Amino acid sequence: MDTKRMIFCLLVAADPPNPTLSHPKTAIQDRPYTITCSVRHTCPSHVPKLTWSRGTADEVTEVHKEISLGYWEAQSILAIIPEEKDDHSDVTCTAEFNGQKTSSATLRLYVKRTENYNHIIIPTVAVIGTAVIFAVFCIFMVKRYKKRIAELQNQEGR
């Protein structure tokens, strides 16, 4: 008689694992930036719920996959467009496991501002504009005085 035995191991941790955040080092103002929050788990029927401290449902994509025998990974990908006000702000991913146990990971955003040359362009244009107006005024005055001098010389020569 052939008897099959099934061995089942259940690994239960006292504290749930912390999520892992992966992201580009620097966020650039007004350009798309993605942060991936991932957490491993062993129970595919009770996938951890990943939530973000900011963002809307439209900005979040969720993925669940088996990574090896008996281990799964839940991922939540947050896609945002950082603004200047987001510099030095925190973004937190919280994983809620079966039994209402939670763990979280936090990322501090460092937003690099887009380059802006207005502080150079505006004064340069103002100086060039003023110089052109002054040059036109000087040319006009020189022509006027030359004409007046020619008129005076013609009156004396009669």
Name all contacts of 19-23 with Cβ < 8 Å and 24+ positions apart.
Answer: 19/50, 19/93, 19/94, 19/95, 19/103, 19/104, 19/105, 20/105, 21/93, 21/105, 21/107, 23/107
Stretch 71-85: mean pLDDT: 94
Is residue 21 within 8 Å of 36, Cβ to Cβ? yes
pLDDT at 154: 85
- How would residue 40 be classed by pLDDT, with cut points 50, 70 and 90? very high
CATH architecture for residues 20-112: Sandwich (2.60)
The predicted model gives 90-117 an average pLDDT of 91
Least reliable range by pLDDT among 6-20, 51-65, 66-80, 110-124: 6-20
For the cut 90, the answer to whether the pLDDT of residue 103 exceeds it is yes
**pLDDT attached to residue 109:** 94
Predicted confidence at residue 2, as pLDDT, reads 53
Residue 5's pLDDT band (boundaries 50, 70, 90)? Answer: low
Q: Which of the two residues, 15 and 47, has the higher pLDDT score?
A: 47
Residue 96 has pLDDT above 90, yes or no: yes
pLDDT at 8: 43
Q: What is the pLDDT of residue 80?
A: 95
Residue ranges per structural domain of the chain = 20-112, 116-158
Q: What is the largest CA-CA distance in the chain?
A: 144
Q: Taking residues 128-150, what's their average pLDDT?
A: 92
